[in-house]
Structure 1
Amino acid sequence: MGTGDWGKVTKRTHSTIPHSPFPLPGWLGLWVVVVGCATLGKLYFQDPDVQLKEIDITGLGLSGGTMNLIFDVYNPNDYRVRSTRMELGLDLEATHFGDAVLEKPLDLSPQNHNQVVVPVRFEWAGVGAGARALLSRQAIRYGLTGAVLLDTPLGDKRLGLHGSGDVPLKKLLP
């Protein structure tokens, strides 16, 4: 640039402060994407775990009876899930016992177990003569098919239910 009392003066061509190849708006945009992905990651939907824990016989009559199916439902998600409808078909010892529809809304707490009671009505004529003997046992083999309709932050979801095993039978009279 020139000369002076102190010697030759030159223009500095590079800075000691590091420069980023991305301007500030680029970093800001990247930060928004990362935070947004972290939030969406928490909204990832995992199917609730539904287990039949007990069958509670609530009434017996000449034409049939009623029972409650008691389920343990675990919601593994980080957010509340709402069930809008539950449809079930129940088989006991390979005999179709009844169908149930539960249209009462259920709120499933995040990362928590919830007890869900589903009432079922059955008729003796539909289950056969040997079915009455089943109800005198301590535990019974069951088969379950159906679906639960869920309302999630990511939209409606239909969760198929299929299960089988042995379940305690709570008697009407001790």
Structure 2
Amino acid sequence: MRKLFALATLLALTACASLAKAAFQSPIVTVKDVKVRSLGLQGATLDVHLDVQNPNEYRIDAEKVSYTFFVDSTRIVSGEVTQRLTMEEKGVISLTLPVSFDYTAVQTAMRYYLARGALDYRVEGMFTLVTPVGRLTRPYSGRGRVEGMP
């Protein structure tokens, strides 16, 4: 009888966790802006400004944000930020990702810029979230265009 009760309890807990994960809404990420922070002989650093909206009725913490930055369809750089972020319920936070890349990537980006007079970019990645239903990994992406260079 105890085994039957333990099995029923385990099934109920598993069902609750599955329902909670299904009810969880992923953060909504908007790429607000990309600015050139520095450009030099060794490479460049961009500040990728994101707005992250938590559509849930409870707080979410992110423990890691990964990113891949593309110019046109060419992958320029990938990385991650392990700074802990707190998103209050139904709140929006601003996040700046410092994206650094080497001289070869700068050359690639400059070729696109000189050919088109602008840089079309795409940023995509994953948020590793700590939620009331456990750790979840959710994707984000955004696109934009940089018209002028410093």
- TM-score over 0.5 (shorter chain): yes
Counterpart contact for 1:141–1:164, Cα < 8 Å: no
In 1, Cα distance between the equivalents of 2:89 and 2:63? Answer: 17
Largest Rg, 1 or 2: 1
In 1, Cα distance between the equivalents of 2:91 and 2:117? Answer: 29
In 2, Cα distance between the equivalents of 1:130 and 1:85? Answer: 28
Please tell me the residue identity of whatever aligns with 2:31. L
Corresponding residue for residue 145 of structure 1: 124
Q: Counterpart of 1:129 in 2: which secondary structure?
A: helix
Corresponding residue for residue 83 of structure 1: 62
Q: CA deviation at 1:144?
A: 2.5
Matches within 5 A, 1:25-174: 44-125=23-104, 127=105, 129-134=107-112, 140-161=119-140, 163-168=141-146, 171=149, 173=150
In 1, Cα distance between the equivalents of 2:145 and 2:62? Answer: 24
Please tell me the residue identity of whatever aligns with 1:165. R
Please tell me the residue identity of whatever aligns with 2:109. A
TM-score by length of 1: 0.65
CA separation of 1:138/1:74 partners in 2, compared to 1, >3 Å: closer, same or farther? farther
Please tell me the residue identity of whatever aligns with 2:49. I
RMSD: 2.8
CA separation of 1:156/1:138 partners in 2, compared to 1, >3 Å: closer, same or farther? farther
Relative contact order (alpha carbons < 8 A, sep ≥ 6): 1 or 2 greater?
A: 2
Q: CA deviation at 1:157?
A: 0.4
Identify unmatched segments of 5+ residues in structure 2. 1-15
Identify unmatched segments of 5+ residues in structure 1. 1-36
In 2, Cα distance between the equivalents of 1:129 and 1:156? Answer: 39
How many equivalent residue pairs?
131
Counterpart contact for 1:100–1:119, Cα < 8 Å: no
CA separation of 1:69/1:138 partners in 2, compared to 1, >3 Å: closer, same or farther? farther
More helix by share: 2
Corresponding residue for residue 3 of structure 2: none
Moved >4 Å (runs of 4+): 133-139, 168-171
Corresponding residue for residue 10 of structure 1: none
